[in-house]
Structure 1
Amino acid sequence: MPQPLVQGDMPDPFAPATLGPVTLRNRTIKSATYENMARDGLVTDALINFHVAHAAGGVGMTTVAYCSVSKEGRTDGRQIYWRPEAMPGLRRLTDAVHAAGAAVSAQIGHSGPVGNPKQTGGPALSPSRFFNPQNLRATTPATREDLKRIIRQHGQAAVMAADAGFDAVEVHLGHNYLASSFLSPRLNKRKDEYGGSLENRARLALAVTQAVRDAVGDRIAILAKLNMDDGVPGGFWLDEAIAVAQWLERAGSVDALEMTEGSSLLNPMYLFKGDAPIEDFAKYVPEPVKTGTRLFGGRFLKTYPYSDGYFLRDARQIRAAVSLPMVLLGGVTSRAVIDEAMAQGFQFVAMGRALLREPDLINRMQKEPGTSSLCIHCNKCMTTIFANGTRCVLVPEHTS
C-alpha cells in the first residue's frame, strides 16, 4: 500500500509524469466539465478552442466531456457520440491540443437515467424504473441485451478514441450515470445478476472497464471516475467504493482512479460545493420545470460549504486501500493544495472551475508558486451549460 510521503519525497507537480503508457508534461489535469459546445454530435471550432486554451495554459492533460458510447447514452441532443462521422472533428481536436503541448483525454460513458429522452430520441436506461424529477419522465429498465450492447460499445468507443489521437479515456462510473446508477442501492432494485449484492451491482462497472482494456490494451491510458458518495440517503457510499476500487485494481483494467461524489440525477451540488444559483438555473429551463425550480429548487439544488481540497478526506480512504495511481479532484485551487495532494500519495490533480476562471492558471502557478485561483465558487458556470457553452461568468464573453 502507498506509504505517507515526507517532504523530500514529494514529486514535483510540474515535472513530467507517467500515466499508464502516456507521459504527461506535468501532473495537472483539466477535469471533465461538460462544455455544451458540440453540435449535432460533432466537434465544433468552439470546442477545439476551449481545450486548446487549457492546453496553452499549461495543464498536462485536458479532458473532453462528455462523449457518449451510444446515441441514447447522451444527456442531451447536442453531445458527441462515438461514430465514424465524428472522427474527423475529433482528430482535429486532438491534433490542436497536442500542438499546444498537452495530452488529451476523452470521457466516455452512458448517461443512463440522467439522459433526456426528449432530446436524445432514445430511452433513459436505468437499473430499475425511476421517475426523473429534472425532466419529469420515467426511466426505462435496461435489459440484459441492452447491457451487453453498452458494454461492447465502451470497447468500441475506446478504440475510436485511440484512433482519433486521444492519449487517454476516462470511463464515467460516477454521478448516477448508467454504471453509477447500477452501483446505487437506492436506484438499483433488480433481482437478477446485476442487482442485490455489491458484487452484482458492480458487475456493469467492472465489465465496461474490462471491455475498454480488452479493446485498447496499452495503446492509451485508462482512467475511471468513480463515486465515493452519491450524496443521497440509501445511495452508494464510501465503504462500498473502497471495495469497488480494489476490484478495479485487481482486474488491471484501469491505470488510475479519479474519485468524485454527488448525483447529477438527485443531488448535483454535492459534487461542486459552494453557492447554489437557483434563479440562474431557472432562466434556462422550460416550463413547468422553470416554475418548479423557482419554488422548490432549494430542495434539489442544496448548498454545501466550500473548502479547498474538499474531497481529500474521503479520497484518502481510497488512497489507503489501493496502490493504483490516483487523481485528486475537488477544490484544487492553489500550489498548497496540489502539494498536500502529492504529500498524501496522490499522483495527479484535476481542476475544473479554477481553470474555467483562469485557463492559464497552471502557467502562472509555475512562475509564481503563491498564485491561487480567483474562482469564488458561485457555481454560475454550471448554468452557462444550458446557454451557449460552459464558461466563467466573471470573465467577459468574447464574441467574434
Structure 2
Amino acid sequence: MSEPQSAPDPLQPARLGPVTLRNRVLKAATFEGRTPKSLVSDDLIEFHRQVAAGGAGMTTVAYCAVSPDGRSAKHQLYWRPEALPGLRRLTDAVHDEGAAVSAQLGHAGPVAPALELGSPALSASRRLHAASMSLTKAASAADIDRIARQHAEAAEKAIECGFDAVELHFGHNYFISSFLSPNLNRRKDSYGGELRNRARPALQTARAVRDAVGDRIAVLAKLNMDDGAPGGFWVDEAAQVARWLEADGSVDAIELTAGSSLRNPMYLFRGDAPLQEFAGAMKQPVKLGVQLVGKALIRSYPYEDAFLLEQARQIRAAVRLPLVLLGGITSKETMDLAMSEGFQFVAMARALLREPDLINRIQAGERDKSLCIHCNKCMPTIYRRTRCVLVPEG
C-alpha cells in the first residue's frame, strides 16, 4: 500500500501548463482603474511591479477587454495596436522582479456600460440593466463567433507582449457567464435551454484560444460556481462545465469564483457592503440606480477565511484538472488548507491590495496573516484608481 502524498508547500515552485511559477500564489484579477484613454499607464505598471516584487508567483492584469464593446468601463484597456507597447513594458517590469504575469481576457456582455460606450450591451437574452436603466441586446450567433475569435486574437497578442498566461473570464455574469446562467439565458435556440447549449460559448471560446496559442502560454478559465442569485448558475452545473473543459484539453487550470456583477456583486467578496461609498463614486444615471436598488443589489455577507471552499470541494471532486482556490485566502494557514484539500494554486486580491509584499513577509516569518479587515471600501475605488483606502496614497 502506497504512502499518502503530503500536500505541496504553497510557497515552493509549481508548474502551470508550460510555465513554472516561483510559488503557488496568484494575484487575482482586480480592475486597477489605471488605464486612462484605455492605455497602460506608468501607474498600472508600478501596481503590478509591486505585487511581483512582493513575492507573488504570478500577477493578473485586469481587465483586458477583447473588443471595445466588451469593456466594463469607458477607459478600460482593450486589445489594440496602441496598447501593445505599454503591455510589453508591463510584462518586462514584472519579469524583472521574478514573477510571471497573466492577462485576463473577457467581454463584459450585459455588465458593459451601454451609455458610456455608446452601444447596447450584449447578453444571452434581452434584459433590463437596473443600474444604468437600459436594455441589453441579445447576442446573435455571429456575435458569439466574433467574440470567441476576438479572445483567440487577444491571446496571440498577449504572447507578443510577453505574457506567460491568459485567463478567460467565464464568471460574474459577463458575456460568457450570461449564457451559462439559466436566469439570464432565456434563449430557445441552440445556445439556450439545456446546459450543453448554454455552455457552448464557453467551450467554443476556450477551444479557439487553445488552438491559437498551443502550448506557448498557460490558459486558465475563471468559472463561476454560483451566481449568488435565484435561478442562476449553480455548482452542480459548474462541475459539469469543468468536466467538459477538462475533456477538451483547452485549459490548464480553472480559477473558481462566484457572484454576479449584475445581481449580487458582494456575494464574491463577503464582509461589509460600502453602499455609501459606491453611490459616491458613480455618475448619473448609475448613481441613481444604486440609490434606488442598491440595498437590494449590494448585500453584505459574513466574512470567513476560505469562504468558497465548500463549493470548490465539489468541483475538486469532479475533475483532476488543476484548480485555483479563491476567496478569503489571507494567511499561510489558509494556503496550506487549500493545498491539503487538493487545490494546486491559491489566488489573493484584497490581501495584496492591502500589502503587495505580503508573500515576502510570510516567507520571512514577519507575518502569518494579512492586515486586510474586509471593509470592502477598496471596491468603489475601481472607478478612479483601485487601492486599499487604509494605506495612505504615495
Match of 1:391 in 2: 387
Shift of 1:8: 6.2
Match of 1:301 in 2: 298
- Detail structure 1 runs of 4+ shifted over 6 Å in the superposition: 5-8
Separation (CA, whole Å) in 2 of partners of 1:8 and 1:209: 32
Match of 1:316 in 2: 313
- Pair 1:272-2:269 in alignment: yes
Could you give the per-residue CA deviations for residues 340-394 of structure 1, whole angstroms, max 9, x where no partner exists? Answer: 000000111000000000000000111117510110000000011122x100000
Match of 1:43 in 2: 40
Look up the SS of the partner of 2:225 in the other structure. Answer: strand
For the aligned residue pairs, the C-alpha RMSD in angstroms reads 1.4
Separation (CA, whole Å) in 1 of partners of 2:174 and 2:115: 17
CA distance 1:109–1:291, change in 2 (3 Å): closer
Shift of 1:118: 1.9
In structure 2, which of residues 136, 160, 165 is the aligned counterpart of residue 139 of structure 1? 136
Shift of 1:41: 1.6
Separation (CA, whole Å) in 2 of partners of 1:287 and 1:125: 21
Could you give the per-residue CA deviations for residues 251-281 of structure 1, whole angstroms, max 9, x where no partner exists? Answer: 0000001010000011100010000000011
Separation (CA, whole Å) in 1 of partners of 2:253 and 2:53: 24
Residues 131 and 288 in structure 2, CA contact (< 8 A), matched pair in contact too: no
Separation (CA, whole Å) in 1 of partners of 2:131 and 2:166: 28
Separation (CA, whole Å) in 2 of partners of 1:295 and 1:333: 34
Match of 2:198 in 1: 201
* Residue type at the aligned position of 2:386: T
Residues 16 and 253 in structure 2, CA contact (< 8 A), matched pair in contact too: yes
Which consecutive residues of structure 1, in runs of 5 or more, have no partner in the other structure?
none
Comparing 280-289 and 89-98, the one that deviates more: 280-289
Separation (CA, whole Å) in 2 of partners of 1:79 and 1:294: 24
Look up the SS of the partner of 1:40 in the other structure. Answer: helix
Match of 1:341 in 2: 338
Could you give the per-residue CA deviations for residues 285-339 of structure 1, whole angstroms, max 9, x where no partner exists? Answer: 1234434534542111001010000011110110011000111100000000000
* Residue type at the aligned position of 1:365: I
Q: What pairs up with 1:341-360 in 2 under 5 angstroms?
A: 341-360=338-357
Match of 1:80 in 2: 77
Residues 168 and 221 in structure 1, CA contact (< 8 A), matched pair in contact too: yes
Match of 1:56 in 2: 53
Residues 335 and 370 in structure 1, CA contact (< 8 A), matched pair in contact too: no
Separation (CA, whole Å) in 1 of partners of 2:68 and 2:284: 26
* Residue type at the aligned position of 2:89: R
Could you give the per-residue CA deviations for residues 230-256 of structure 1, whole angstroms, max 9, x where no partner exists? Answer: 000000000100000000000000000
Comparing 68-77 and 361-370, the one that deviates more: 361-370
Residues 132 and 289 in structure 2, CA contact (< 8 A), matched pair in contact too: no
Comparing 300-309 and 287-296, the one that deviates more: 287-296
Q: What pairs up with 1:106-185 in 2 under 5 angstroms?
A: 106-185=103-182
Look up the SS of the partner of 1:33 in the other structure. Answer: coil
Separation (CA, whole Å) in 1 of partners of 2:244 and 2:292: 43
Percentage of pairs with the same residue: 63
Match of 1:373 in 2: 370
Look up the SS of the partner of 2:63 in the other structure. Answer: strand
Separation (CA, whole Å) in 2 of partners of 1:47 and 1:158: 20
Separation (CA, whole Å) in 2 of partners of 1:391 and 1:7: 43
Separation (CA, whole Å) in 2 of partners of 1:89 and 1:234: 42
Separation (CA, whole Å) in 1 of partners of 2:337 and 2:27: 18
* Residue type at the aligned position of 1:329: L
Separation (CA, whole Å) in 2 of partners of 1:303 and 1:353: 16
Shift of 1:10: 1.2
Match of 2:185 in 1: 188
- Pair 1:240-2:237 in alignment: yes
Query: Normalising by structure 1, what TM-score?
Result: 0.96
Separation (CA, whole Å) in 2 of partners of 1:43 and 1:6: 50
Match of 2:25 in 1: 28
CA distance 1:137–1:155, change in 2 (3 Å): same
Residues 335 and 369 in structure 1, CA contact (< 8 A), matched pair in contact too: no
Separation (CA, whole Å) in 2 of partners of 1:149 and 1:306: 39
Separation (CA, whole Å) in 2 of partners of 1:43 and 1:265: 27
Residues 31 and 351 in structure 1, CA contact (< 8 A), matched pair in contact too: yes
Look up the SS of the partner of 1:253 in the other structure. Answer: coil
CA distance 1:163–1:367, change in 2 (3 Å): same
Separation (CA, whole Å) in 2 of partners of 1:198 and 1:6: 40
Match of 1:290 in 2: 287
Look up the SS of the partner of 2:383 in the other structure. Answer: coil
Separation (CA, whole Å) in 2 of partners of 1:58 and 1:118: 40
Separation (CA, whole Å) in 2 of partners of 1:352 and 1:386: 17
* Residue type at the aligned position of 1:38: T
Residues 264 and 299 in structure 2, CA contact (< 8 A), matched pair in contact too: yes
Separation (CA, whole Å) in 1 of partners of 2:230 and 2:102: 33
Look up the SS of the partner of 1:188 in the other structure. Answer: coil
